Amino acid sequence: EAGVTQFPSHSVIEKGQTVTLRCDPISGHDNLYWYRRVMGKEIKFLLHFVKESKQDESGMPNNRFLAERTGGTYSTLKVQPAELEDSGVYFCASSQGRLAGGRQTQYFGPGTRLLVL
């Protein structure tokens, strides 16, 4: 079974440009999460989809970030316009929807390393 995949693995852009990150969850997983780790800090939650609906977007830093999950399969995270402080590793994770709350294992992808110059 394929794991969570993310594309691209690395992205280097200039301040003010737009970048779109993609995540393909494990097939059949209803829950999809985005997390971010900025340099030297902890991994932090951004948002959570259940199928195509945003369940919790309390971690999204501001309105320059837009996440979508059309059709409840893959998800994209767009940053527009990118700022220097957006640099970091963006992780996607997915889980099945069978257990309540956070008791289910979240399976992580390898992340996209974003550098904004």
Partner 1 sequence: ILNVEQSPQSLHVQEGDSTNFTCSFPSSNFYALHWYRWETAKSPEALFVMTLNGDEKKKGRISATLNTKEGYSYLYIKGSQPEDSATYLCASNNAGNMLTFGGGTRLMVKP
Residues at the contact surface with partner 1, assessed by CB under 8 A: 3-4, 31, 33, 35, 41-45, 48, 55-56, 58-59, 91, 95, 101-111
Q: Which is nearer to partner 1, 30 or 81 (CB)?
A: 30
Residue 94: which of 38, 1, 30 has the closest Cα? 30
Closest CA to 29 of 104, 82, 103, 90: 104
**CA–CA distance, 79 with 51 (Å, rounded to integer):** 22
Q: Which two tokens stand for residue 42?
A: 């902890």
Residue 15 or 44 having the CB closest to partner 1: 44
Shorter beta-carbon distance to partner 1: residue 17 or 113: 113
Residue 81: CB minimum distance to partner 1, A: 27
